[in-house]
Amino acid sequence: MISAIQSDLRAGLRSFRGRPFYPLVSLAILTLGLSVAITVFTYFNGFSQTFPGVAADHVVRVFGVADDNPYENVSYLDFTDYATGASAGFEGVAAVQPFFAASVRRETMTEVAFLTAVSGNFFSLLRVELALGRGITPADDRPGADPTAVISYAWWKRSFNGDPSVLGQLLYLNYRPFTIVGVASPKFLGTTSNFRPDVWIPIAPFRDRYVSWAAQAENRDRPLVPVYARLRDGVSRAQGEVELRTLAAGLDAAYPRLDGPRGVRLDPATWIDPRTRVAEMPTVRLMLLAAGGLLLLVCANVANLLLAVSTGRQRELAMRSALGASPARLVRLVLTENVMLSALAGAIALVLAAPASARLGSYFARPSVWGANVPRETSLDMRVVAFALAVSLLTGLAAGLLPAIRASGRRLMSLLRADAVGSGRTPRRIGNRRIPAVHDVLVASQAALAIVLLVVAGLVLRTLSSAQSIDPGFSYDRLVASYISTSSTSIQPADRDRFFRDLARQLADESWVRAATVADNAPLSPLGATRLRPEGQRDPVALTATRVIPGFFETLGIGVVQGRGFTAADTASTPDVAVVNEAFARRFFSGQSALGRRIWWPAASGGAERAFEIVGVVRDAKAQDFIAAPEPVVYFSYPQHTYPSGSALLVSTTIDPAAAVPRLHSWLRRREPHLAIVNALPYTDVVRGFLYTQRMNAELFSTLACLALVLATVGIFSVVSLGVGRRTREIGIRMAIGAGRADIRRLIIGWALVPVLVGVGVGLAGSFAVTGLVRSLLYGVRPTDPLTMAAGTAVLLAASLLAAYLPTRRATTVNPVTALRSD
């Protein structure tokens, strides 16, 4: 058997050398199709990958379950009870709190480090790999313990030049010393794909420094921390859930929650949050469907090419049959050749999938005023390799099936005799109706799949165009933003109002600055909801609220619709005032003026409410989401509130914002060397980051559509070329009896376009069928948009005409006498 396979492999190689054109074209087509399929599968597989640099076996994520959210974090107090009580089925339970920043003071300047707080057993429970030193231990996570820190490998290289003597050094985070006890391995990048910590510290000193977080940690109704656990050997997730649910029932009895009984679920610990997977699943489903459709298109195209090859090999195959080769041997020979092609294409596609996956991951690097620009990283693990191998072999078998069946037919000798007398194959008929040939069916299939992909690509391109034209309600074309913190400076909390207002005023005096302002958070930042009670409401409502200094609305170009904005007179010594947007006024005071109404801010610990008079209504501006409709927003005067150490700095420039970023950075460094600058970037980058889904969809589906169009065009070209070759004698006869070249061209092009038109009809029907999947990806365009469907159809028909015209034109230039002698 092995020798027979080796013989088939050698025969396949000889065949490729004898006819290199079609195999090379087939290889290129297979490589493109498999590259797309493997890249999409790698993207999909990323949702189930564990975070790197840990021993992930038996590690699970513990979620709370609410009626409207099956993937809640866990309150910190509930976590401590789970960690204490869960012992039968668990080796341990650990908590982690990512997404914080701290200033790191050096001798001459201050930089910013992104940090994550972890429970003391985090490093040992997850068995985090370390490059130097040790991890954080339970002894480090106790009140009064000396603060310790583990730093990331990348930060160690970047800020400490990879110095091994870093162990034992003091690291000043927000002016507080931490002793560096370890350096994580280069593999360990944290527990979430969209955040790269520079430092890990224990939760105990983190609570001391971040008092607002510490207050939330005392609230059992606040889902606060991601929680991970390691199951004991032999314990299933279902058994672990039963144990935690028993503990949760006890907590319900002792500490009832406002939102109802506690739910618990265990899921595999993955680097990409399952909530992200749920949000992206509509896109993923369509991506998988499109990649599968493209792969079918590839199979149809390669099958067409190989059928063309097999037509030219009829004499060879007939000779093999005459010499005793069985039909099974001929099938094996043809399939072996095709599997060789597909295996080689799969190997090349696997290599190409790595940069293609990195390209997809780059879209998830969403620049923001607060935070780093982090792409999503996926790895080519064994599941991807196995998928590549399986899909390559299946593609080869599928594409080679029709040629193999044809090669095994008993009519090879009759076909050879028919070829000897120059007779083309007569179309088969049922009654007066012609039965479509295999080539026709394949062309129609290619056209149908191409139409679907072209329509989807057109829809997502129009979605991107619509999204890019959204008016966020504020001017951002010339806007530069930064988040700065005074935590490592000598500026006292009582002096922060004067510092930030002076900073904005002095910055506005620069020649390259039109205006500058300060807010506690920049627009399009993740603002936490604030519970406020508008006049006329009995209970507080969760609303978006932000504090700004006077001049904020003018700097951002947010127009005042009624009343006034904030002025320098709105200070801590004057009556409390607020400004609301139009969405707020419509929701709570529909049909009435909001001016003079009040908003109450409930005091902490049951104190008296604080009343704010509404003195102005401003135009709606996007506060958190660039795509969604503007939500109700309440603006407060910053000077009437306590300033935190950090605030957002917004600068309207007179020059190119990209050129203004380094100027702003240098100016801030000169103004206060120990000011922590979290980030500085043009606001156009922020907006662009919000459109990452639309940009990714536009590029991906446009690429798929272009590939589908090329494949369909190549398929039509090959079929028409093959048909023209078969009908050369017929063409010669028609021309000899008086048919003009234009008549011949119309005849052949009409014959070639019939299956294309059938495919277009099927494809348009398929486009309507996938509207449910496409709808969730669109903005500002309907999934059945007639203009997009007409454009997709026109593009395919134009390409089909070109593909059919080229071989037809060549055929009609042949001398009729030569054509008659060709057979």
Question: 202 in the Ramachandran plot: left (φ > 0), alpha (ψ -120 to 50) or beta?
Answer: beta
Is residue 289 within 8 A of residue 773, CB to CB? The reply is yes
679-732 pLDDT per residue, tens: 899 999 999 888 988 888 898 889 888 888 888 887 777 777 666 656 666 666
Query: Which phi and psi angles does 38 have, rounded to 5°?
Result: -70, -40
pLDDT interval class at 553 (50, 70, 90): very high
Supply the pLDDT for residue 579. 98
Furthest C-alpha separation in the chain: 107
> Among residues 361, 364, 366, 307, which one has the least CA distance to residue 338?
307
Write out the two tokens for 164. 């091994």
13 CA to centre of own chain? 41
Using DSSP's 3-state secondary structure scheme, residue 191 falls into: coil
Percent above pLDDT 90 for the chain:
47
Query: Which phi and psi angles does 384 have, rounded to 5°?
Result: -70, -45
Radius of gyration of the chain, Cα coordinates, nearest whole angstrom:
34
454 CA to centre of own chain? 21
Supply the pLDDT for residue 405. 66
Question: 780 in the Ramachandran plot: left (φ > 0), alpha (ψ -120 to 50) or beta?
Answer: left
| The pairing of beta strand 148-151 with beta strand 176-184 | parallel
Judged against a pLDDT cut of 50, whether residue 418 lies above it is answered with: no
Please give the Cα distance from 557 to 544 (Å, whole number): 20
Judged against a pLDDT cut of 70, whether residue 544 lies above it is answered with: yes
Lowest-confidence pick of 104-113, 234-243, 396-405, 426-435: 426-435
Write out the two tokens for 551. 């001049």
339-372 pLDDT per residue, tens: 777 888 888 888 888 888 888 888 888 888 877 6
Tell me the average pLDDT across 312-329: 60
pLDDT interval class at 327 (50, 70, 90): low
> Long-range contact list for 661-667, CB < 8 A, 24+ apart?
661/480, 663/510, 663/512, 664/480, 664/482, 664/507, 665/482, 667/507, 667/510
| The pairing of beta strand 110-118 with beta strand 199-202 | parallel
Using DSSP's 3-state secondary structure scheme, residue 516 falls into: strand
Residue whose token pair is 């070759």: 725
Tell me the average pLDDT across 87-105: 93
Judged against a pLDDT cut of 80, whether residue 415 lies above it is answered with: no
- 463-491: b (≥16 Cβ within 10 Å) or e: bbeebeeeebbbebebbbbbbbbbbbbeb
Supply the pLDDT for residue 775. 87
| Crossing angle of the two packed helices 327-362 and 314-322, in degrees rounded to 10 | 140
pLDDT interval class at 310 (50, 70, 90): low
Please give the Cα distance from 29 to 344 (Å, whole number): 12
Judged against a pLDDT cut of 60, whether residue 14 lies above it is answered with: no
Using DSSP's 3-state secondary structure scheme, residue 362 falls into: helix
Using DSSP's 3-state secondary structure scheme, residue 151 falls into: strand
Supply the pLDDT for residue 582. 96
Supply the pLDDT for residue 317. 58
Judged against a pLDDT cut of 50, whether residue 424 lies above it is answered with: no
Judged against a pLDDT cut of 60, whether residue 5 lies above it is answered with: no
Residue whose token pair is 């910190």: 76
Scanning 107-263, the segments in alpha helix (DSSP H) are 122-126, 153-160, 203-209, 211-217, 237-254
51 DSSP 8-state letter: P
Handedness of CA 81, 82, 87, 92 (dihedral sign): negative
164 DSSP 8-state letter: G
Is residue 570 within 8 A of residue 586, CB to CB? The reply is no
Domain residue ranges of the chain, discontinuous segments joined by +: 59-271, 479-690
Q: Which stretches does DSSP call E strand in 656-702? A: 676-682
575-615 pLDDT per residue, tens: 999 999 999 999 999 878 999 999 999 876 556 789 999 99
H-run or E-run covering 674 = none
Judged against a pLDDT cut of 60, whether residue 540 lies above it is answered with: yes
Report the chain's mean pLDDT, rounded to a whole number: 85
Supply the pLDDT for residue 344. 85
Supply the pLDDT for residue 420. 42
H-run or E-run covering 409 = none
Is residue 454 within 8 A of residue 708, CB to CB? The reply is yes
What is the end-to-end Cα distance of the chain in Å, rounded? 40
Supply the pLDDT for residue 349. 87
Percent above pLDDT 70 for the chain:
84
Tell me the average pLDDT across 514-523: 94
Residue whose token pair is 């600068």: 651
Residues in a beta bridge with 177: 172
Residues, the chain, total? 823
Stated pTM of the model? 0.82
Q: Which of 11-15, 208-212, 591-595, 723-727 has the highest mean pLDDT?
A: 591-595
Q: How many CB atoms lie within 10 A of CB 284?
A: 14
Please give the Cα distance from 164 to 681 (Å, whole number): 34
Tell me the average pLDDT across 188-213: 92
Supply the pLDDT for residue 728. 63
Supply the pLDDT for residue 716. 75
Supply the pLDDT for residue 423. 42
Judged against a pLDDT cut of 60, whether residue 196 lies above it is answered with: yes
Judged against a pLDDT cut of 70, whether residue 231 lies above it is answered with: yes
Judged against a pLDDT cut of 80, whether residue 291 lies above it is answered with: yes
DSSP secondary structure string, 272-322?
A: S-HHHHHHHHHHHHHHHHHHHHHHHHHHHHHHHHHHHHHHHTHHHHHHHHH
Is residue 189 within 8 A of residue 142, CB to CB? The reply is no
Please give the Cα distance from 823 to 542 (Å, whole number): 84
Query: Which phi and psi angles does 141 have, rounded to 5°?
Result: -105, 50
Supply the pLDDT for residue 670. 92
Supply the pLDDT for residue 320. 62
3-class SS letters over 798-823:
HHHHHHHHHHHHHHHCCCHHHHHHCC
Lowest-confidence pick of 197-206, 447-456, 499-508: 447-456
